Chains A and B, each alone.
Chain A
Amino acid sequence: MTSKFAGVVAALALALAACGSGPGDAPAGGSSATPDAGATIEIGSLYEPQNLDNTAGGGQGITEAFNGNVYEGLFKLTDDGKVEPLLAESQEVSGDGLTYTFRLRKGVKFHSGKALTSADVKNSIAKVTADDSQSARKSSLEVIKSVETPDDATVVVKLSGRSISLVYNLSYVWIVNTAAKDPATSEDGTGPYKLGTWKRGSTLSLERFPGYWGTPPANNGVVYHYFTDATALNNALLTGAVDIVTSQQSPDALTQFTGNPDYKISDGHSTTKLLLAFNDRKAPFDKPLVRKAVSSAIDDAKLLESVWAGHGSLIGSMVPPTDPWYEDLTKVNPYDVELAKKQLAEAGYAKGFRFTLDTPNYDPHPTAATFIKSELAKVGITVDVNVITADEWYTKVYKNRDFAATLQEHVNDRDVVWYGDPDFYWGYDNKQVTGWVKQAEQAKTAEEQTELLKQVNRQIAEDAASDWLYLYPQIVVASSKLSGYPINGLNSQFYAYGIKKG
């Protein structure tokens, strides 16, 4: 399920944190020696793409390899979650907020040599909203009524309702050449790199695209090396077979690199949250008081310490610190066993109850489940841990909603809006929250949107719609010869063009 969720990839483009971002910047880097522009950067990753198309189930891996590197959008997301123009040069919004006019950047060419035109943009948007699209962005772009192309350099997008996130959502739409053949097995984008070779099960290489419109990459190309085993990945880094690991998933292995001058560990922010998601439709979790009691009975800090040994952070609600509407809500449902007992008694469960916790069979879910079981035993609640595969989770929990409570990691940024959808798997149904989420999307200003989503975030915390156990750390380990790499944010995006060696 990791890749599945990651495939959603509402990733902040938290890239090039240290060195600015964007192909337009010349990353300053931190190294004193002259960087070697002829060097190839060897990148180690656990996320091999399933295929090369992000609208056909390419997953987290293809976002990591291709977003911003091979394909570009009209906009891109920067480190602090801001949207910046990329292939769009300018935008105009009509007074009613229903018409967006984008002017395209001039001199942009696809890797095949064809010049970018508005028709390509129209087609690329249509590809995401198509019936057979498996894009996670499909539903958020359904607000688009029509796309018009008055001339080669202008795109007019008409909406059926206001959508303040439109520009943000467009940053996830790859602009693909209309004439491109099979996007699942080949590519034709406008990015600084073109695809070299993809050896399934092993490597994917990106080569410099000589006709790139912007600043050429700081390196001569990159090779993603794919591993299924975190130990093997770390061994590759230790022996110099790879220069950098996109996302360290094994905290135990960090000790091998700590204090070693040959390596640099960067501890950034992620947007991946570990949730104890209740089925808010069914007793006993239809009562907010019961959910609050459970949330207060679990010592999240202790769990985080045992899983991540000092890395990561606690969150009191769904919104991670990198979203514009974050606030610290860890005090709303504090760890307090006495409070939990009182709330349980008040809710009519003084003697506790018993429920089944559907637990995905991969880390860290089983560990968290065992911990939760022992914590809840202290307030009289018996937990039956039911370990299931990712596939079973998808069918049983996500599609059939046949569960009492479940554990799941949610990687998206800006995904608090799911609490406004009563049909989502956790079934949180609060008319007020649904209204706020809708209003926020139709807001006229970003401030208005931010204020409304803050209200949402507070309300779901008050109702303990789910229990947000912790926010994952984002740890990048790299050879100290390297600079200019993305250290913050999601493992899902990894802008490689600023990386320098030497």
Chain B
Amino acid sequence: MARYLLRRTAFLLGSLLLAAALLFVLLRLLPGDPANALLSVGATPEQFAAARRQIGSDLPLPEQFGSWLAGLASLDLGTSFVSRLPVGPEIAERLAVTVPLTLLSFALAVVVALPVGFLAAWRSDRWYGPLLNGVSQLGIAVPVFWIGMLLVTVFALRLRVLPAGGFPREDWAEPLRALTSLVLPVVTIALVMSASLIRYVRSATLDVLGSDYLRTARALGSSFGGAMWRHGLRNAAVPVISILGIELATTFLGAVVVESVFTLPGLGTMLVEGIAEHDYPVIQGVLVVSTFAVLVIGFAADLVQRLVDPRLRAHVGGGRP
């Protein structure tokens, strides 16, 4: 296990470095210069050159990359070209919105999807089995911003029970207010996420229900619930966990649409603003942090899978029959 952990960590750091290099190069392939974002009509070539000097976009690329990497190593993500504010603290501030948003949505989606998915499989012969299946299909097809706007119309504009958007200026100083402003965004993401999760849970459960070992356990006298609990759940969990990892990572990055609909100052909106302004330090900072988060989530999903499934442990640990 120790060797596995070591290898996995090395892999994580390697991927991160590769991602950082790719990011840096790809960004610079985009047409346009960040200095443009700072200037207005009437700007002279001298003003343009001065702007480039000021933000350092006139330096040779290897030099720019080197100083950025050096900063990264000391956990300094640099300073925004545009706002002149350090990128790191701003990302931290945005994470205070995006992380709770992602985790709460994820938790809600799991809580909804597991029983519903299971029910849709177990009772696929009843009328509500196909119905649940159909509803989840619909959920996948509907765009997330539309669900967001619908919820806003109903709960914020009509019923006036929840805010239409925004996040308290004091962040989490008043936790209840902060939570209130996250309710609609969380429900929006959770609805969309659980729609696809339901389908995975359903098919994983169907596999298990049709499996030989479950039939055998039943033949040996286990009750359906007992067999399901002892054998079914564990087996069904393996594919679902890896899907959960992917879903969590996707939500973390994909929250941008929801953040925009609900005007939440999260990581996604920061990225979009950074791209619009050619603000390389901001784009790089957000992407490095989110790449790191995604890799860590993948790592965690792997670990959990190994804990659940002894076969994986045996295989990767090597040698033991």
Contact = CB atoms under 8 A, between A and B. Distances in A.
A236 B165 CA distance: 7
A199 B169 contact: yes
A139 B44 CA distance: 9
A11 B48 CA distance: 23
A225 interface: yes
A383 to B, nearest CB: 24
A93 to B, nearest CB: 26
Contacts of A50: 37-38, 82-83, 277
Nearest to A48: B273
Nearest to B160: A239
Interface in A394-441: 394-395, 398-399, 410, 418
B94 interface: yes
Interface string A23-34: 000000000000
Contact of A229 (B37, B38, B260): B260
A134 B43 contact: yes
Which of B50, B54, B84, B269 counts the most A-chain CB atoms under 10 A from its CB?
Answer: B84
Given A199-B93, A238-B164, 10 more contacts: A4-B41, A50-B277, A57-B38, A132-B54, A184-B83, A200-B83, A201-B273, A235-B157, A391-B36, A394-B32
Interface string A1-26: 00011011100000000000000000
Interface residues of A, number: 48
A361 to B, nearest CB: 11
A410 B260 CA distance: 28
B167 interface: yes
Nearest to B48: A399
B164 A232 contact: yes
A200 B265 contact: yes
A178 B84 CA distance: 19
A392 B278 CA distance: 12
A4 B149 CA distance: 30
B40 A7 contact: yes
Complex A-B, nearest 6 residue pairs according to Cβ-Cβ distance, in ascending order? A57-B38, A184-B84, A391-B32, A202-B265, A201-B265, A235-B164
A311 B149 CA distance: 27
B142 interface: no
B36 A134 contact: no
Contacts of A138: 42, 44, 47
B165 to A, nearest CB: 5
B39 A57 contact: yes
A203 B85 CA distance: 15
A205 interface: yes
Contact of B163 (A56, A203, A239, A391): A239
B31 interface: yes
16 contacts: A4-B39, A8-B42, A50-B277, A132-B53, A133-B47, A201-B94, A205-B169, A223-B169, A225-B263, A229-B263, A231-B149, A232-B262, A235-B156, A241-B163, A241-B166, A399-B48
A406 to B, nearest CB: 12
B227 interface: no
Given A8-B40, A50-B82, A57-B38, A236 B263 contact: yes
A34 B277 CA distance: 44
B41 A398 contact: yes
Contacts of A395: 31-33, 36
B147 to A, nearest CB: 15
Nearest to B282: A200
A96 interface: no
B51 A391 contact: no
A139 to B, nearest CB: 6
Nearest to B86: A185
B157 A57 contact: no
Contacts, number: 143
A53 B80 CA distance: 14
A273 to B, nearest CB: 13
Contacts of B152: 235
B38 A227 contact: no
B85 A200 contact: yes
B260 A228 contact: yes
Contact of B84 (A4, A139, A182, A236): A182
B76 interface: no
Interface in A37-56: 50-51, 53, 56
Contacts of A227: 263
A394 B169 CA distance: 35
Contacts of A223: 169
Contact of A202 (B36, B47, B156, B167): B167
B270 interface: yes
B261 interface: yes
B249 to A, nearest CB: 22
A374 interface: no
Contacts of B302: none
B39 A134 contact: yes
A139 B42 contact: yes
Nearest to A231: B149
Contact of B31 (A132, A185, A205, A392): A392
B247 interface: no
A5 B41 CA distance: 6
Interface string A136-176: 10110000000000000000000000000000000000000
Given A138-B47, A199-B93, A231-B149, A4 B40 contact: yes
A391 B37 contact: yes
Contacts of A235: 152, 156-157, 164-165
B63 interface: no
A197 interface: yes
A57 B82 contact: yes
Interface string A193-211: 0000101111101000000
Contacts of B265: 199-202
Given A8-B42, A139-B42, A391-B278, A229 B169 contact: no
Interface in B33-77: 33, 36-44, 46-48, 50-51, 53-54
A50 to B, nearest CB: 5
A57 B38 CA distance: 4
Contacts of B37: 4, 50, 57, 391
B166 A225 contact: yes
B84 A51 contact: yes
B157 A392 contact: no
A199 B53 CA distance: 27
A229 B269 contact: no
A51 B157 contact: no
A236 B166 contact: yes
Nearest to B82: A50
A478 to B, nearest CB: 17
A235 B90 CA distance: 27
A5 B156 contact: no
Contacts of A241: 163-166
